[in-house]
């Protein structure tokens, strides 16, 4: 079994964190006279001035104290933390794309063509009739979708619809987005097979239902095989069906939400189309809709001009307004476009096939109970008598990132695992060995893990509620 050690730097007093550049290389710079009032100026300013080798070493040391997708596999269930190919960065850095998006449309025809083409690609992939590229993240896409649903019902004289229905396995952002959009959230229990319970759904929907939000495959990796019946139940009640695109990479190039009866969907381009996204952004969460909802999309949209001689921005007839500046996060959208264009139809199909194959292969190599099958791109194993968090932290000592733990709650001590399509058999075997090694560990090793990382076990609740995001906070403790 391979063991793993992150870098740790020590001085005579023990382990130390990597100092800020200004701490190590700060130099006082005189501030010259300015026309600003004295109370708004200072006499000097401390700025870091490291030589290039020191600058490089500083960031390399920081990288050595972190786990990253370039370090090893990152099998977070339902989060698709896959390797993002650097070629998309090269495309986004092309000087030809560096034009201000607020310039007149006739001077940015290339930009508009790219945005229009990406709209069309995403619509085709999702089986939707139109797409907006504005939302800056998946959750922002959910919020946009909820606002579109609200505008649609209002326009039809059914503004009284006040409820959004979600299954108990829904991503946490689903009820949060619905609540932010002003809806009451109604949760329904899953059936014994881990899928939507049709009887529970029929009992929950009615005259107050605005939307039913559902991931497919769901968060257990199970395909909702009754999706057409689900859509019919919701539609007969007058509601709309929303597709959470978090798990679209399991269907990519093979099945489309629009063909299943979904009316609205968002695309997590950082999950499905490999645009780096972390720490809060920048990101993108385009939203697709069926034909009857297109007039409610955010403004502006991009379309071809009459005669096909160029592209123009326009405002949909009953738009919900803007949800982000310009047409969205331009550079992120370029990366998504580059990824889709590079892979093409066959590459996108291969992506979903490999994602499902990798998850099913890995599941056969670990000695843990997996209560819900058959799954697609991810599975939820149970740690049994062990604490799932302890087991996950122990896996760090063997050079892999832990899976998602203790969610969804319908699996006891859940280890939710998504190996993603890009990992090799050798890496999957390494992951399986880490599962096995963690399970074999004694109680002391488990409860105190991780042992080989720069930062050892932390108080998870305190870290989430009182994050220390600056070096001053470290000094205070």
By the 8 A CB rule, do 303 and 324 touch? no
CB atoms < 10 A from the CB of 83, how many?
A: 16
pLDDT at site 299: 96
- Condensed to tens digits (0 to 9), the pLDDT of residues 175-187 reads 999 999 999 999 9
> Residue 114: is its pLDDT beyond 80?
yes
Q: How confident is the model at residue 158 (pLDDT cuts 50, 70, 90)?
A: very high
By the 8 A CB rule, do 30 and 41 touch? no
Average model confidence (pLDDT) across the chain: 92
> Residue 312: is its pLDDT beyond 90?
yes
Kindly state the DSSP code that residue 196 receives in the 8-state scheme.
Answer: B
Question: Mean pLDDT lowest for which of 32-36, 145-149, 224-228, 234-238?
Answer: 32-36
Q: Average pLDDT in the 355-383 region? A: 97
pLDDT at site 49: 85
Q: Average pLDDT in the 103-111 region? A: 92
Distance between CA 200 and CA 191 in Å, rounded? Answer: 9
- Condensed to tens digits (0 to 9), the pLDDT of residues 413-454 reads 999 999 999 999 999 999 999 999 999 999 999 999 999 998
SS3 state of residue 289: strand
Residue with tokens 């679209």: 248
Residue 341, CB-side half-sphere exposure with 13 Å CA sphere: 14
Domains (range + CATH), the chain: 87-342 (3.40.640.10)
pLDDT at site 377: 96
- Condensed to tens digits (0 to 9), the pLDDT of residues 53-74 reads 999 999 999 999 989 888 899 9
Q: How confident is the model at residue 304 (pLDDT cuts 50, 70, 90)?
A: very high
pLDDT at site 401: 94
pLDDT at site 373: 94
Our CA angle for 107, 113, 117, nearest 5°, is: 165
Kindly state the DSSP code that residue 33 receives in the 8-state scheme.
Answer: P
pLDDT at site 437: 97
Question: What pTM was computed for the model?
Answer: 0.91
By the 8 A CB rule, do 300 and 315 touch? yes
Q: Average pLDDT in the 206-214 region? A: 98
pLDDT at site 107: 93
Q: Average pLDDT in the 260-264 region? A: 98
Higher pLDDT, 465 or 127: 127
Q: How confident is the model at residue 278 (pLDDT cuts 50, 70, 90)?
A: low
> Residue 281: is its pLDDT beyond 80?
no
- Condensed to tens digits (0 to 9), the pLDDT of residues 79-90 reads 888 999 999 999
Higher pLDDT, 343 or 307: 343
> Residue 150: is its pLDDT beyond 80?
yes
Share of the chain above pLDDT 70, in %: 97
- Condensed to tens digits (0 to 9), the pLDDT of residues 380-418 reads 999 999 999 999 999 999 999 999 999 898 999 999 999
Q: Average pLDDT in the 102-118 region? A: 94
- Condensed to tens digits (0 to 9), the pLDDT of residues 94-105 reads 998 888 888 999
pLDDT at site 75: 94
> Residue 26: is its pLDDT beyond 80?
no
Q: Average pLDDT in the 179-208 region? A: 97
Q: Which of 361, 395, 392 is nearest to 378 (CA)?
A: 361
Q: Which of 348, 349, 333, 445 is nearest to 395 (CA)?
A: 445
Question: Mean pLDDT lowest for which of 7-16, 203-212, 300-309?
Answer: 7-16
CA 169, 193, 203, 257 dihedral sign is positive
């Amino acid at each position: 079994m391979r063991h793993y050690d992150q870098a740790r730097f020590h001085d005579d007093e023990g382990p130390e964190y990597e100092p800020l550049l200004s701490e190590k290389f700060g130099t006082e710079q005189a501030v010259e006279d300015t026309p600003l009032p004295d109370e708004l100026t200072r006499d000097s300013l401390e700025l870091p001035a490291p030589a290039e080798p020191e600058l490089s070493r500083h960031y390399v040391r920081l990288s050595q104290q972190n786990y990253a997708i370039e370090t090893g596999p990152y099998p977070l269930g339902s989060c698709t933390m896959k390797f993002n190919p650097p070629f998309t960065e090269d495309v986004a850095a092309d000087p030809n794309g560096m034009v201000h998006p607020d310039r007149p449309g006739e001077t940015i025809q290339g930009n508009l063509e790219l945005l229009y083409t990406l709209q069309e690609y995403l619509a085709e992939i999702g089986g939707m009739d139109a797409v907006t590229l504005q939302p800056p993240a998946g959750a922002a896409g959910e919020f946009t979708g909820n606002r579109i649903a609200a505008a649609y019902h209002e326009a039809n004289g059914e503004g009284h619809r006040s409820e959004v229905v979600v299954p108990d396995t829904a991503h946490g952002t689903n009820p949060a987005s619905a609540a932010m959009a002003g809806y009451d959230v109604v949760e329904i229990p899953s059936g014994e097979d881990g899928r939507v319970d049709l009887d529970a759904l029929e009992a929950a929907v009615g005259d107050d239902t605005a939307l039913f939000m559902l991931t497919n495959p769901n968060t257990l990796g199970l395909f909702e095989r009754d999706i057409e019946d689900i859509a019919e139940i919701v539609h007969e009640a007058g509601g709309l069906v929303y597709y959470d695109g978090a798990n679209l990479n399991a269907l990519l190039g093979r099945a489309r939400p629009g063909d299943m009866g979904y009316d609205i969907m968002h695309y997590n381009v950082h999950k499905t189309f490999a645009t780096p996204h972390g720490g809060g952004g920048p990101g993108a969460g385009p939203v697709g809709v069926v034909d009857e909802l297109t007039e409610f999309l955010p403004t502006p949209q991009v379309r071809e001009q009459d005669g096909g001689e160029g592209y123009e921005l326009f405002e949909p007839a009953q738009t919900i307004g803007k949800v982000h500046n310009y047409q969205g996060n331009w550079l992120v959208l370029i990366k998504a476009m580059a990824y889709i264009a590079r892979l093409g139809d066959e590459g996108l199909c291969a992506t979903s096939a490999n994602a499902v194959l990798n998850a099913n292969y890995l599941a056969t190599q670990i000695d843990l109970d997996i209560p819900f099958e058959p799954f697609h791109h991810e599975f939820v194993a149970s740690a049994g008598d062990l604490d799932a968090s302890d087991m996950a932290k122990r896996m760090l000592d063997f050079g892999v990132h832990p899976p998602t733990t203790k969610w969804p709650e319908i699996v006891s001590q859940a280890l939710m695992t998504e190996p993603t399509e890009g990992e090799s058999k050798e890496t999957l075997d390494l992951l399986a060995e880490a599962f096995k090694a963690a399970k074999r560990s004694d109680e002391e090793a488990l409860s105190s893990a991780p042992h080989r990382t720069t930062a050892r076990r932390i108080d998870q609740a305190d870290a989430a509620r009182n994050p220390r995001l600056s070096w001053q906070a470290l000094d205070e403790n």
